[in-house]
Chains A and B, each alone.
Chain A
């Protein structure tokens, strides 16, 4: 089993990221400091080009930060260099991704889109599918379990993507504008689900968003401007 205990959530200290070198170098992240507790959903907002996606990519271990420290769950994964060799296994077991577009695998049905991750982690097909179906039930899309992604509505696809992000019970979920293509009702339901899941599985969740409708739901918000983060209290408005 690859379930990792939620550990210490997400801790980022003094992270910097520079793209390129010399005259054309871009300092996308200059000083990022963030803490997300297990079970907490925080918002990350900032103007275009401020470094939000770059931050998620660093956290998601798909690009290498230039400096700083990152802790995910129980592991310090980066300390001025990767502390873990197998980044793909790290992603598979520790990080769930939700994107603006759901990016489901078009040739797998809904169940297998979700079940693929536990399968990749070495679980049997049956066990993996059982887990997938359970989660799909929790996310209210169990009735579409046998459908192909192209047959789903945008909201349904996004919920399947969330199920996929959750299925390995990672300590961390990174969501990049997960509600952008959804109407406000669907958007709210996605945020509600993320909050429920955070509590249920003690997951630390970062949601990058521009979406005015959902910003008031965060208890804490990080603003990022010119590559530096500033913490702010959010409204933490309850869901209806």
Chain B
């Protein structure tokens, strides 16, 4: 037996291919949407993996530092270092802001790290880690900065000494690492006028400016113009300890919130990108419905254009099964073309997206199965119409 579906498609391949390509672009968008979500989840995981931390110590009752603001005194880490099972602990700050390079602005997450501490980016594409405690920066490649370039954060200039990749915040902003001290200053920094006027106000206050104690005024002004806060403490634990084993006493004794890596991942994925994922899920549903409608409509139209042939096929003894499978094969064929076009186009345009788009083979497989099922369902309408065709129509009047 020859393939009636195949012959029909070959005969009218132009119509078929154009429709398939149109459908394919739609499927490409669908796959990309799924990839955007996967990319967000993956970014979160990479962020956590590259942070080099086993535990995040943050302000009590917060989901910090990524999901909520968190603020700790910068000497807290010392007492954490003394807790059992803690190998290393270091302060870290996060601040999303505009970073200037020459005459362009890049939105970035500025991360203040202790050079050599946990929290230095794990992998560099080029250059080296920060080695001085001031005015050096390691930037993510997505910022577009180059090695040796000078960037401006607030009032200070930093030289880019190293480049990372895939270090982005959960909001998708590339990271720029600078020494902790500089970052604390940047977070706190007031403009010059504000500093001068505050200094004047403090000097005018007789409680601080006492004739017998000249150092008091200086100490007060110093404390006013420095920032003793950080956003979190990153902790690495000693081998042989479990994360929870170390986290629990810190929570209890230090009245701080401690998150393990699993918990942090849960916060990032379930809380931070939950709305985005619902948004994307909604898109996927709509795209699936639209694709189904298109396939159904096209297959129905193609079938209606063959009513007379179908009547003749029935008259000369073709079984309903043969006719139904002809229509279904065409629907599935259309889906196949669409899927291939969709997969290729998604692969082509995914790297052009500003945020990471992760096309997972598993998603492609699920997409493929969905396309096939949608096409089969969409052909039902056309098959029903075809089975209703009266073979007497072939004989005419």
Residues of A within 8 A of B (CB): 53, 56-57, 60, 62-63, 88-89, 91-93, 97, 99-101, 103, 105-108, 112, 115-117, 119-121, 125, 148, 164, 176
Q: How far is the CA of A56 from the CA of B309 in the complex (A)?
A: 19
CB under 8 Å from chain A, chain B span 1-32: 1-2, 4, 7-8, 10-12
Q: How far is the CA of A93 from the CA of B317 in the complex (A)?
A: 8
Residues of chain A within 8 A (CB-CB) of B318 are 88, 120
* Segment of B133-141, B218-226, B235-243, B387-395 engaged in the interface with chain A: B387-395
Q: How far is the CA of A101 from the CA of B391 in the complex (A)?
A: 15
A91 touches B317 (CB 8 A): yes
Residues of B within 8 A of A (CB): 1-2, 4, 7-8, 10-12, 308-309, 312-319, 322, 390-392, 394-397
| Chain B residue nearest to A93 in the complex (CB) | B317
B392 touches A164 (CB 8 A): no
Residues of chain B within 8 A (CB-CB) of A125 are 1-2
| Chain A residue nearest to B5 in the complex (CB) | A107
Residues of chain A within 8 A (CB-CB) of B8 are 107
B396 touches A176 (CB 8 A): yes
Contact partner of B7 (CB less than 8 A), chosen from A89, A108, A120, is: A108
Q: How far is the CA of A105 from the CA of B318 in the complex (A)?
A: 13
> 13 interchain pairs (CB within 8 A)?
A53-B395, A60-B315, A62-B391, A62-B395, A88-B317, A97-B316, A99-B394, A103-B309, A107-B8, A112-B7, A120-B317, A120-B322, A121-B317
Residues of chain B within 8 A (CB-CB) of A148 are 11
Q: How far is the CA of A88 from the CA of B317 in the complex (A)?
A: 4
Say how far B303's CB is from chain A's closest CB, in angstroms: 13
B394 touches A103 (CB 8 A): yes
Q: How far is the CA of A57 from the CA of B12 in the complex (A)?
A: 32
Most buried by B among A91, A103, A115, A176: A103
User: In the complex where A119-B2, A120-B322 touch, is A99 in contact with B316 (Cβ < 8 A)?
Assistant: no
B309 touches A105 (CB 8 A): yes
B1 touches A117 (CB 8 A): no
Say how far B381's CB is from chain A's closest CB, in angstroms: 21
Say how far B353's CB is from chain A's closest CB, in angstroms: 42
| Chain A residue nearest to B316 in the complex (CB) | A117
Residues of chain A within 8 A (CB-CB) of B313 are 105
Most buried by B among A63, A105, A117, A148: A105
Q: How far is the CA of A95 from the CA of B307 in the complex (A)?
A: 21
| Chain A residue nearest to B317 in the complex (CB) | A92
Say how far B321's CB is from chain A's closest CB, in angstroms: 11
| Chain B residue nearest to A53 in the complex (CB) | B397
Q: How far is the CA of A89 from the CA of B319 in the complex (A)?
A: 8
